[in-house]
Amino acid sequence: MLGKGRLFAHFILEPGCSIGYHVHEGEAETYYFLRGIGEVNDNGELKTVHPGDVAHTNDGEGHGLKNIGDEPLEFVALILFK
């Protein structure tokens, strides 16, 4: 990624667990969902996500994520510097 990549990781959130709302400055983050059901807080708008869905947060925007299902929420995250 020629110096643009900050994070490329596989995550698993257990039922009821979450990643708190936060704002990205100087970078953007994309989630690709592999398993489970989650709720993304996309700049204050709540959206339900399923396997195969993608959520993207641009530089200067905020997001959070919660596992709202009964099984682990599995996803890949990619953060790129702007």
Q: Count the domains in the chain.
A: 1
pLDDT band at residue 59, thresholds of 50, 70 and 90?
A: very high
pLDDT band at residue 6, thresholds of 50, 70 and 90?
A: confident
Mean pLDDT of 21-31: 97
- Look at strands 5-13 and 73-81 and give their pairing: antiparallel
Secondary structure letter of residue 50 according to DSSP: -
pLDDT for residue 36: 98
Structure tokens at 69: 């299902």
What distance lies between CA 11 and its chain's CA centroid?
Answer: 9
How far apart CA 38 and CA 31 sit, in angstroms, is: 11
Which residue range is the domain that position 66 belongs to?
Answer: 5-81
Query: Are the CB atoms for 13 and 72 separated by under 8 Å?
Result: yes
The CATH number of the domain where 11 resides is what? 2.60.120.10
Mean pLDDT of the chain: 96
How far apart CA 12 and CA 62 sit, in angstroms, is: 20
